[in-house]
Structure 1
Amino acid sequence: MTSEPFASPAREAFAHVSARTGFAVDPKEEQEVIRRVARALEPDARDIPDETFRDILCTVRRKKRISRLVDLTRRSGRIWVTRDEIEQAVATITEPEANDTVLERALAPVAQERLRSYAATPRKVFDAIQADLLDTGRVLSPGQIDLLLMAIAIAFGLPEGDPFLDTARRDEAQRQKTAHTIERTAQEKRQKEEQRLAAWEESLVPFKDVPRLLRCSHKEALRWIAENRLPVARKVSESGGRERWEFDPAELIALRDKLGEWRDGAAAATPGSPRVQADMGRKVANSVIARVAALDRYAAHFRTARALNRQITLVTGPTNSGKSYTALNALAQADSGLALAPLRLLAHEFREALASRGVEASLSTGEERILVPSSKHLAATVEMCPFYNPVDVAVIDEAQMLFDTDRGAAWTAAIMGAPARHLYILGAPDCIPMVRRIAELCGDPVDEISLERKSPLRSASQPVKLADLTTGDALIAFSRREVLDLRAALMQHGKRVAVVYGALSPEVRRAEAQRFNSGAADILIATDAIGMGLNLSIKRVVFAALKKFDGRQTRDLTVQEVKQIGGRAGRYGKHEVGTVAVLAGAGSPSFIRRQLEADTEEQSDLRPYVQPDADIVKAVAAEIGSESLYGVLSRIHRAVLRKDDPNYRLADMEQAFDIASALEGVEGLDLTTRWSYAMCPVDDRDNGIKRLVGWAADHAAGRRVMPPGTGRLPPSERASREELERAEKRHKRLVAWRWLALRFPDFYPDREEAEETTRKLNDWIESVLRQQSRTRTTSGRERRK
């Protein structure tokens, strides 16, 4: 036993200072307080200053105060107040025994400063905060709207009676009323379209009723069906591989007047003479819709391309095999040409590659146009392929995207429809059978060139520890969160880090790639967004995971994924050998070795994806006599392509269908305009469809839709992950807005302002990512070596 009254100097100091100051310490806090007192003690001291004790108590109680203030703001309905500003407010409190009033008093100036930093005017602040909340799925109630408007008015020092409050309340009430009306009307119209389709399907009759309705023989009915004179309304698969044919009785009756002509034609026909399709009338049989849409004869839809004597050269090879070099040289030497890329960033790179060869080219992407009047060359994203102006040479990159369920149809259309006399198709080896199939459907001859890597690629025999990553390494994860966790962990090891992931804009990705290539960053951490569109000087690729979630399930990486991503290692001319490894604890190096050595995986289904375009949508609408995009897409989905069509399969149009469904309640937009909205690139994980419908409603009402702002951008060195994510979502809003502005400039004005806002957001995001101190995070989860 000790002879002293206290077991330690720290406990003695704690007893002295707590008695002197009178601050009560909860038993749950005592151990942590004493530990901090021990740190604050000078050598041989038995006491600490009162002010130091106050600071210790405030620090120990900070977490509890943050939780309390979060609770107070949420209970009062102030859901726009962020945890970041609550933490900032609590950090300013110097009273050890602060009550709720003190907490609220500390929050007030922080919250007001944040509101003022959102935008230049109260109205823009109000709109920007609501947009941020909508990104997270939160919509303010009328009471919460009043609270927010009052907070904004106080922050801006508006005088009593300022019209902002009444005007904003009135506009918001009208907006919510309109949104409710749109939703209700959309539901009613969808039900009407579904009832209309169901009633028609119930009216169909089996084949046995056809001779009676047409007043013909059984044999004649079969012959006329084979000659495509009698439309089969619906084909229903049954057990045993059988198929039941159904017919529209009203349509059959309308064709009775044609029977004499058909019989006379049959009598006069000679063997081998071509069969002529009959006039199918104006009814709305599914077979009629299929013929109007012509997706089962999709290659014929591209008349300009079919009129040309096209030659296809298919250039395949792994990453770092130089696929684009020969094609770009041919394109630059041609009098006219077209370069189609999967990403806006790559379209810019194609344009720059042509410029380096002395050829000026225009640019066309979903968000921007750069017109060079004297140029006969165009660099574009695949979705922007022009189908009507013939050129000498066209280049289409990344043809393995043909297998992508979301975007594959754009590659099908580009390869089938590019109006080029010589078409170069570039891609990984697994695209070969699909491109051959498409060429066969088009009747185009194909030359094939197979390239090998310019530098060898090998798999590492041992896992790599996080601490052992070195200059020139690229670490691959499969989510934004994992990328940022790994970034924080590596910076703790003193590494300079660049990052690339899907939510970043092409400009930021490019800037991060440049930091890595120039040596300003030692290590690159990326998602599989690295696999396309960036020139990177990587020495070694290290997988931080060997499984990924693909939107439906968590699965092993495929052979092609490992080869496409791992192939980024060993940049020719920079590194003699490329190495592919796995992070310690993430899996076995043998998996990497097997995938790299495996043959290209054969795809089980070589039918290219197809989807309608604006012309097909209008043709089907005219056939069924409807201006409902939802109704048109429903019929296309039900009628255009049978699931067992031998040549094509319908692309995943779920998002377009969801947008069309939501737009049903917006009055005043024609079919073509609705189709444009349905094609707009939005992310519904951020409630993008709901925002899009609001913009469409303003458009239909003749109101202009102003570009989104940057929102609040704190100093980049103090930005948290939450603030970074908010900025990324704001950028996605701007992408959608700029996409629409190109198509509807009268209703989406001030494109220059939107472009400047985009630049500011990109610069801020890049500045945040350049910070080499650990980014603040609320997750608390760190990756260990």
Structure 2
Amino acid sequence: MQGFSVWLRRPCIANSRSTWTSYQSIGRRFRSSTSHSKRPARPSPTTQTDGFQKFQRPGRPPQTDSIGFQGLRQADASPETILTYFRLNVETWSKQRAVHDRFVSFGAPLPDISRLLVAFVRDAQKGVFDSPDAMEQYGLKRLSDTDNIEADIAFSHIFTRWLLARPAPVKGVEPETVERFRRISEAITEMHPAELLPATRQMRRRVIMHVGPTNSGKTHHALRALAAAPAGVYAGPLRLLAYEIWERLNMGHIPPLGATPEQIAAATEMGPSPDNPFARMCDMITGEEQKLVVPHNSPGLVSCTVEMCNTMAKFDVAVIDEIQMIADSGRGWAWTRAVLGIRATELHLCGEETAVPLITEMLKDTGDELIIKKYARLTPLEVEKKSLDNDLRNVRKGDCIVAFSRTSIFTLKRDIEMQTGLKCAVVYGKLPPEIRSEQAALFNDPDSGYDVLIGSDAIGMGLNLKIRRVIFESVRKFDGRAEKLLSTSSMKQIAGRAGRFGLHRGDEAPGGYVTTLRPEDLPVLRRTLQLEIMPLKAARITLEVESLNIAAAHLPPRPSTETILLAVIHLGGLPLCYRHTYPERFQEVAAFIDSVGMFTLAEACHFMTAPFPWRDPLTLDAVRAFIVGYYERMHVDVMVMMRELPYLAQLEDAEAAHAAMDGRRAKHLLHGLEMLHRLLTSYMWLALRKPVAYPSYTDATTLKERCERVLHWCLRQVTLRSGDVTAASRKPPIRYVSKQDRMADLRASAS
């Protein structure tokens, strides 16, 4: 969960050389160990959903995703299409109970809201919004490229603009109701986001976009410019990527721009080393850890995750990777902040060509020079003529099978090893970055004995992999509600990992192949890879604590955090090329935090920003302990907390199994260890920002290292024991049956 931070008026890190701290405000209320007796009574839970309890509180708006219509998913929708969609859905939107309850929670009487929405629909039916000028004035273009949540927000924006621009009052509506909406909207509307970074606007930057498909060398060219810079920063989407670039720069892996072929040959001959002539001293700063090697107050390089990028320091060169993530609803705000705020003479943006129109529009307000460099793929990528026909005996050395659930990954691993004798490394999202990197190294090493990689879409970025062929176990992925076809962008990103330039094995010709496990998926894959990816529509803007406080001042007394956030999202105006961030499940998370105690908005947003494993309901007791300890005692000791909860016992149990070499339990220990690792990295994140309240950074680091050792052992054990391959070879071959096929068989049997 990311996206709530003060980024437009404060640097994300004040000094890359100092520990990340967040000073407590003077005069903060003292919370003694007995303060819980004075806490307000918690609202009683009513229902349980994915581990989150729904709390009944007066005026709490229902979940936004309960809106009963679909968005306009066409990114290139014509004005006629947009207007038709608006006419067909405006009345449906206006009658949603969620819409009425939300506006009531903002302080409007229900009768007034009902009358206003009726008048809004009536004006739509009269053609008030039909002209091109009216569509521009009321922002109807925001309806394109939306899901149901974004469409709901767009309708709210159109309604608010209509309400404030309507020349005649609506009969029976109190003037104070309209005035309340006007005050909130005008206070939090921001039509020039770039101007909120005045220090950066005082310089004219040279922005170079390196765009192209996966495996086109675009990032490599930008990194060469960084390696030649006296002071520079790399900002990437993953801690694993930040670590990789940090290591490559410190070990001389990246030849600087301007190096001669002879110098490159000599450095290559020497190999990776701090003494390599291309080695550059580089710090690494992520949300959970820092590796500082550059002497204090000396110019140097920094490799960081994009959320940690410093907008106050001056750089000669900055590189922002995976720029297309600027449109991501949860994390895109960090790319927006970096693009608008990094104070670099030369700013390199690397990613998909889909971001070019959006960046061009954003930079119209900055006065920066924009240069676009396009790249073609360095090695050919071929879609094979046949699938594997559900037969895992067709898996070959150098293959990567991509699946989208942990269960599928380990089922494939077991079946492939039994049927082929090939050993499989695994990579998936819940694995710690360090373990993912180790598994990738096993696959890349020709002498390790690990010949096949089984991974999730986590292979799409952040790992250099010697994949010869990518095999899609499925072209659909469960999104929490239903299985949906992978996006064009995701399918291309994953397929493009095959045949990575410079990483082919032995005498293999450069190039990669892609296919599917099931025959019926292959035409879908072939057709999708031929499609163009539509240009991005909008960059994401975070919800500033300052704006939230302003909104809260105009809402009814003691509004919930959720209500304040929704007021800014639904009433705050932005330019057409921007949208507010909308992290997944933020309404449930806000209600969860409010249930713990009465926090300031800054504190509530701080916990919403923390990388807690919100998706896993089994960890919510630990998350509550993190927050309750801060609220009641301003002190959370990680060893005490982990011993009170089952996690430390689980770790010790896993270490005992490791010591006894009892590999039979390894698979069952994995999930608990993964959860523990995520909780420990969350604690480290909190400790770097609030070291007084979370003082056990060193203990958390030690526990994390212990956890990683056992995790690595568990993954090694989840493989065939000696003799199993021989035994398996005497059995008849097993055809792999996917989850989709099993469900289809069940439906057929039922009918």
Report the TM-score, using the length of structure 2 for normalisation: 0.66
Q: Does 1:784 align with 2:736?
A: yes
* 3-state DSSP of counterpart to 1:424: strand
Deviations 1:271-313 (A, max 9, x none): xxxxxxxxxxxx9844444444344432222222222212210
Equivalent of 2:688 in 723, 733, 742 = 742
1: CA distance, partners of 2:110 / 2:310: 38
Question: Partner of 1:446: helix, strand, or coil?
Answer: strand
Contact 1:477 1:545 in 2 (8 A): yes
For 1:454 and 1:725, how far apart are their aligned partners in 2? 39
Displacement of 1:607 after TM fit? Answer: 1.9
Kindly report which structure 2 residues correspond to 1:66-77, keeping only aligned pairs within 5 A, or say none: none
**Could you say what secondary structure the match of 2:624 adopts?**
helix
Contact 1:237/1:244 (<8 A) preserved:
no
More helix by proportion, 1 or 2? 1
Deviation at 1:640, TM superposition (A): 1.0
Q: Say which of 572, 575, 581 aligns to 2:514.
A: 581
Structure 1 position 744, deviation (Å): 1.6
Partner-residue secondary structure (3-state), 1:182: coil
Q: Is the 8 A contact 2:160 2:181 kept in 1?
A: no
The reply to whether residue 554 of structure 1 matches residue 483 of structure 2 is yes
1:237 pairs with one of 116, 141, 159: 159
Deviations 1:557-614 (Å, cap 9, x if unpaired)?
Answer: 3332232111111122233333333344353534333333x242214x6122222134
CA RMSD of aligned residues (A): 3.9
Question: Match of 2:493?
Answer: 564
Aligned to 2:625: 694
- The number of aligned residues is 551
Structure-2 change in CA distance of 1:202 and 1:241 (3 Å): closer
Find the aligned partners of 2:588 and 2:190 in 1 and give their Cα distance. Answer: 21
Shift of 1:553: 3.6
Match of 1:394 in 2: 318
Residues of 1 paired with 2:503 and 2:284: CA distance?
31
Q: Distance in 2 between matches of 1:704 and 1:241?
A: 48
After superposing the two structures, state which structure 1 stretch, 633-642 or 188-197, moved more.
188-197
* 1:528 corresponding residue in structure 2: 457
Q: Indicate which of 462, 466, 470 corresponds to 1:537.
A: 466
- For residue 244 of structure 1, report the CA deviation from its aligned partner: 4.7
- Helix, strand or coil at the partner of 1:181: coil
| Partner residue in 1 for 2:428 | 501
| Structure-2 residue corresponding to 1:595 | 528
Find the counterpart in structure 2 of residue 641 from structure 1.
573
- Higher mean C-alpha displacement, 342-351 vs 617-626: 617-626
Pairwise CA distance, 1:472: 1.1
Partner in structure 2 of residue 652 of structure 1: 582
- Contact 2:317-2:345 within 8 A present in 1 as well: yes
Question: Structure 1 residue 237: deviation in Å?
Answer: 3.3
Matched, 1:478 2:404: yes
Other-structure match for 2:301: 377
**Equivalent residue letter for 1:335:** P
Closer, same or farther in 2 for the Cα pair 1:339/1:200, shift >3 Å? farther
2:539 maps to which residue?
Answer: 608
Q: Give the AA of the match of 1:301.
A: L
1:673 aligns with 2:603: yes
How far did residue 617 of structure 1 move?
3.4
String of CA shifts for 1:407-431, please: whole Å, max 9, x gaps: 2222222222222222100002222
Given that 1:668 and 1:701 are in contact with CA atoms closer than 8 Å, whether structure 2 keeps it comes out as no
Q: Say whether 1:351 aligns with 2:246.
A: yes
Contact 1:485 / 1:783 at 8 angstroms: preserved in 2?
A: no
Q: Which has the higher contact order (CA 8 A, sep 6+)?
A: 2
- CA drift of 1:772 comes to 5.9
SS in 2 for 1:386: coil
1:316 aligns with 2:247: no
CA-CA distance at 1:767 after TM superposition: 1.3
Which amino acid in structure 2 is aligned with residue 353 of structure 1? R
Structure 2: distance between partners of 1:348 and 1:364 = 9
Partner of 1:213 in structure 2? none
Contact 2:397 2:451 in 1 (8 A): yes
Q: Judging changes above 3 Å, is the alpha-carbon distance between structure 1 residues 446 and 324 closer, same or farther for their aligned structure 2 residues?
A: same
Percent identity reads 29
SS in 1 for 2:633: coil
**Aligned residue number for residue 237 of structure 2:** 342
Q: CA deviation at 1:242?
A: 12
- Which consecutive residues of structure 1, in runs of 5 or more, have no partner in the other structure? 1-173, 207-225, 227-233, 255-282, 776-781
Give the partner amino acid of 1:569: A
* Structure number with bigger Rg: 1
Q: Tell me the equivalent position of 1:515.
A: 442
Provide the rounded CA distance (Å) in 1 between the counterparts of 2:549 and 2:472: 47
Does structure 2 retain, via aligned residues, the 8 Å contact 1:630–1:661? yes
Is structure 2 residue 662 aligned with structure 1 residue 729? no
TM-score normalised by the chain length of structure 1: 0.63
Q: Which runs of 5+ in 2 are unaligned?
A: 1-33, 46-53, 62-101, 117-136, 138-155, 253-277, 722-733, 738-751
Shift of 1:655: 3.3
Deviation at 1:341, TM superposition (A): 0.6
Aligned AA (1:358): A
In structure 1, the residue matched to 2:384 is: 460
Q: Distance in 1 between matches of 2:565 and 2:666?
A: 43
Do 2:164 and 2:182's aligned partners in 1 also have CA atoms closer than 8 Å?
no
Counterpart of 2:630 in 1: which secondary structure? helix
- Matches of 2:163 and 2:680, distance apart in 1: 50
Work out the CA distance in 2 between the residues paired with 1:201 and 1:639: 17
Paired AA for residue 639 in structure 1? L
Distance 1:719 1:646, change over 3 A: same
| 1:273-288 aligned within 5 A | 285-288=180-183
- When residues 285 and 391 of structure 1 are mapped into structure 2, their CA distance, relative to the original with a 3 A threshold, is farther
Following superposition, the deviation at residue 697 of structure 1 comes to 1.9
Matching residue's letter, 1:640 = G
Separation in 1, partners of 2:399, 2:681:
31
* Shift in CA distance, 323/483, structure 1 to aligned 2, threshold 3 Å: same
SS at match of 1:379: strand
Q: Which residue of 2 aligns with 1:469?
A: 395
The 3-state SS of whatever aligns with 1:719 is: helix
- Looking at structure 1, the residues matched to 475 and 377 of structure 2 have their Cα atoms a distance apart, in angstroms, of 23
Per-residue deviation, residues 109-130 of structure 1 (Å, max 9, x unmatched) = xxxxxxxxxxxxxxxxxxxxxx
Letter in 2 for 1:474: C
The separation in 1 between residues aligned to 2:284 and 2:531, in whole angstroms, is: 37
Structure 1 residues 594 and 288, CA, compared in 2 at 3 Å: closer, same or farther?
A: same
**Post-superposition shift, 1:525?**
0.4
